[in-house]
Amino acid sequence: MKKNNLLHSSAKNLEFQDITFAVANASNDGIIIINPEHKISFVNKVLKRWLNWSDINTNKWIGETDKKAYKEFLEISEQQTILESLFKSVEGKQNLIAESIDIKLKNPIYKYMNIYTAPIYHKTEGYKGRVWIIDDQTKEKKIEKAKTEFISIASHQLRTPLTAIRGYLSMITDDQELLKQLDDDTKEFIEAANEGAVRLADIVEDLLNISRLEMGTTVVEPKKSNLKEELTKIIQNYKILAKEKDIEIKTEYKFEKDTEFKTDYSLIQHIVGNLTDNAIKYTPPQGHVTISFSIKNNLLRISIRDSGIGIPKKQQERIFEKFFRADNVRNEDFKGTGIGLYYVKSLIDSLNGEISFESKENQGTTFYISIPEK
Ligand code: ADP
């Protein structure tokens, strides 16, 4: 009780402004405060330190108009246009809270920063200026980059020995004469080794594709082509897979027969392929999968509906996360890695498309995609 009183009385003697400045200086984020006359009234220690590295003397900023700070900041930023549009978006608009943006600072500071801003209001006097907060994301970005590079190197390294293993195994499984000389147990072991190698190769291929996307080395190459022909080719492989599992696949093409559509069909192949593969995998035998394609306002719309096990409601929001798998598939019947949907979502983003889904446990799932013509 006594302690509380003590704290209370000492805090009373402090000006609120002093506390605010102390907190701002202790912060890990860079902070600038601008008054209603657009003059800079405060720059915190962290920001002063960062900007000193690029020869900007922020002590000279105090009392200057915000234009000077904007201009100097633009000069050291790699993504000038993004930063410029952020500054423009709040210019003269007191209430506006700009969205945060990611920018990269040039040599020699190499910083990734997240910048956001908010107006400052006084209870009775109204608008008192604006605060800019600059959050340093460099460490997180570096870790993310290192992870992506690791996945890329590891999967590249795995590829060569895996190709050799698959090659030698298929020399045995394709050689009827040799197979005749083997007893049933040996044949079974070889078959199991072959299946494992194929699965491993698929996983490595998925990892490689993801690291390409994350490193920005995937190129989108749109090509105008006959839509129905391209889509039929993609679905063809999955008809066989479905038949083996006694699942009926129905396809609906709801557009004019000779429609031409410009997009990157190799990416569409990965998107539709992954979703169809999941629909078959997560649907028990004698189930149904319906794939429907239509065109509206230059958008290619695809829906993939299955009568399978569904996705538990409480886990639906996590379904596009990397490596996420729902509880109802974590058993021997459903093999997987949890990267397919993450990959699909990233591909759809690179085509500026959208994806959503509806699902009910034990009833089925429908994925909806729309992709604009490129
Ligand atoms: P996985 O390799 O596990 O299939 P995905 O990234 O393709 O990985 O899918 C992530 C998770 O989403 C799956 O593990 C599963 O829980 C769920 N899921 C995806 N598609 C379906 C579907 N058609 N029916 C039921 N669950 C699905």
* 339 Cβ inside 6 Å of ligand 1: yes
Of all atoms in ligand 1, which is nearest to the CA of residue 279?
23
- 185-229 pLDDT, tens per residue? 999 999 999 988 988 998 898 888 888 888 877 889 999 999 999
Mean pLDDT lowest among 90-99, 238-247, 362-371:
90-99
Of all atoms in ligand 1, which is nearest to the CA of residue 336?
2
Nearest CA to ligand 1 atom 14: 325
Those residues with Cβ within 8 angstroms of residue 73's Cβ, 6 or more apart along the chain or in another chain: 83
Does 4 score more than 60 pLDDT?
Answer: no
Nearest CA to ligand 1 atom 8: 338
* 261 Cβ inside 6 Å of ligand 1: no
Residue-level pLDDT at 206: 85
* 357 Cβ inside 6 Å of ligand 1: no
Model confidence band, residue 6 (pLDDT cutoffs 50, 70, 90): very low
Does 13 score more than 90 pLDDT?
Answer: no
Residue-level pLDDT at 14: 66
* 341 Cβ inside 6 Å of ligand 1: yes
Does 11 score more than 70 pLDDT?
Answer: no
Q: Which of 206, 275, 276, 282 to mutate to test the pocket of ligand 1 (most atoms within 8 A of CB)?
A: 282
- Give the whole-number percent of the chain exceeding pLDDT 70: 95
- The whole model's pTM is what? 0.70
* 309 Cβ inside 6 Å of ligand 1: yes
- 30-55 pLDDT, tens per residue? 999 999 898 999 999 999 998 888 88
* 355 Cβ inside 6 Å of ligand 1: no
* 312 Cβ inside 6 Å of ligand 1: no
Residue-level pLDDT at 178: 92
Nearest CA to ligand 1 atom 21: 278
Of all atoms in ligand 1, which is nearest to the CA of residue 274?
7
Mean pLDDT lowest among 21-25, 95-99, 257-261:
95-99
* 279 Cβ inside 6 Å of ligand 1: yes
* 336 Cβ inside 6 Å of ligand 1: yes
Please report how the helices 138-173 and 184-214 are oriented relative to each other, as an axis angle in degrees rounded to 10. Answer: 150
- 137-156 pLDDT, tens per residue? 888 888 988 888 898 899 99
Of all atoms in ligand 1, which is nearest to the CA of residue 339?
6
Average pLDDT over residues 247-276: 96
